Amino acid sequence: SQVVAFRGDRQAGIITAAQDRLHFAAFDVITTDRSQLVALLQQWTTAAERMTRGEETFENGAVGLSDYRPPTDTGEALGLAASSLTLTIGFGPGLFGPDAENPTRPDRFGIAAHRPAALAPLPVFPLDELEPARSGGDICIQACADDPQVAVHAIRNLARMGFGVVSVRWSQLGFGRTSSTSVDQQTPRNMFGFKDGTANLKAEEPEQLDTWVWVQPADNPAAAQWMTGGSYLVARRIRMHIERWDRASLFEQERVIGRSKGEGAPLGQSGEFDAPNFDLTNGRSPVIARDAHVRLAHADNLDGVQILRRGYNFTDGSDGFGHLDAGLFFIAFCRNPADQFVPMQQALAAKDALGEYITHNGSALFACPPGVAPGHWWGQTLF
């Protein structure tokens, strides 16, 4: 169906079958008035729920309210279907006052005691070229939909409602989901032409999700129980050096990834979903190279660690040198980034053959609370 339920035990947009399009926005909160922030979260919740049903932000919002005031809904989604729109909110470290990176940051909203330990700044990884203007943020909203105009309309209207309370710090459009998060979905391809999302956690694996995605009661003291049932969102804008990649031979491309380009099978196997065999050798060299992306990112190489990947391709035009500004807007959900994303990215940044072809230039971490209970608003259990 085209309507994904907004309310439930878990936020939509995490294990929801990945939609085709993304508009992701990170906001700075520019007020220090807690009641203003709470009022905005309440308004956002009402509007978000309406939009996920395919309705305007407010009843008669686009037309019909008054000829003499600006419409309360911008109108570009009028007549469009709900398009499986999901809106997922997350809270960034800056909302909670001081942390290791910013020890003097004020606790503007009196919630410092509720900061979960896992919401700590990510370390700087080797090869990172992070741009502050594409990184961080106090609040994120991830809008995913099968129609780009529906996703853009949602972020535009939420940003508009936030005038004076939040300002958009950065945002990213994405297309062509690069992950499948359900066994019913075909594996899509990324901008390097490879299937992406083959070996991913899937919605149909509840025990795995409890282990690797959803925050459990034992993870936090009482003050941070508001995160139980939530998850941490790691966003990385990864520029892919398309022209360099396109000059690499097919052999080199497959060696770097560790899978075949056509079928997406692990090297040495024939089917996409065949298990990789990292012990296979060809003469003296391993069939899946020691620095192949899938070897380094695989659970066997990381004491069993896994993450849920839910990223999107992006192309933001050209960069002034005639090179495509394209890549992967990587989004991962995990139960504790310090135990999952960090060691994985450390292994990749140190050795991954893919490193020659990519550059991470944006980074952010958000704590996404559990689902919105009936009658509740976004973040109610935190404030």
> How far is the CA of 42 from the CAs of 47, 114, 164, 171, 264, in angstroms?
9, 20, 15, 22, 45
Rounded distance between C-alpha atoms, residue 359 and residue 343, angstroms:
18
Question: Is the CB of 200 or the CB of 336 nearer to ligand HEM?
Answer: 200
Closest CB 51 distance from ligand HEM, rounded Å: 30
Q: How many residues form the binding site for ligand HEM (CB under 6 A)?
A: 29
Pick the binder of ligand HEM from 297, 331, 334, 382 (CB under 6 A).
Answer: 297
Q: Which of 46/359 has CB closer to ligand HEM?
A: 359
- Sequence-distant (6+) residues with CB within 8 A of 322 are none
Q: Which stretch binds ligand HEM (CB under 6 A): 20-28, 73-81, 108-116, 297-305?
A: 297-305
Three-state DSSP class for residue 179? coil
| Segment near ligand HEM (CB under 6 A); pick from 58-66, 150-158, 191-199, 216-224 | 191-199
Q: What's the closest the beta carbon of residue 362 comes to ligand HEM, in angstroms?
A: 12
Residue 348 binds ligand HEM, judged by CB under 6 A: yes
The residue from 358, 364, 368, 372 that contacts ligand HEM (CB under 6 A) is 358
Q: Which residues lie below 8 Å from residue 45, measured CB to CB, with a gap of 6+?
A: 372, 376, 377, 378
Q: Are 101 and 80 in contact (CB under 8 A)?
A: no
The structure tokens listed for 370 are 């559990």
Please state the length of the chain: 383
DSSP for residue 89:
E
Q: Of 136, 162, 174, 197, which lies in the binding site for ligand HEM, with binding defined by CB under 6 A?
A: 197
Q: Is 259 in the site for ligand HEM (CB under 6 A)?
A: yes
Q: 264's torsion region: left (phi>0), alpha (psi -120 to 50) or beta?
A: left
Among 140, 344, 368, 382, binds ligand HEM (CB under 6 A): 344
CB of residue 286 to ligand HEM, shortest distance in Å: 15
Residue linked to tokens 């795995």:
208
In whole angstroms, what is the distance from residue 383 CA to residue 380 CA?
Answer: 5
Output 27 or 245, the one with its CB closest to ligand HEM.
245
- Is 328 a binder of ligand HEM (CB under 6 A)? yes
Nearer to ligand HEM, 37 or 240 (CB): 240
Residue 129: other Cβ atoms inside 10 A: 9
Judged by CB under 6 A, does residue 298 bind ligand HEM? yes
Coil, helix or strand at residue 214:
coil
Question: How many whole angstroms separate alpha carbon 186 and alpha carbon 195?
Answer: 9
The least distance separating ligand HEM from the CB of residue 264, rounded to whole angstroms, comes to: 6
Residues forming contacts to ligand HEM in the complex (CB under 6 A) are 190, 192, 194-200, 236, 238, 240, 257, 259, 276, 293-294, 297-299, 327-328, 330, 341, 344-345, 348, 354, 358
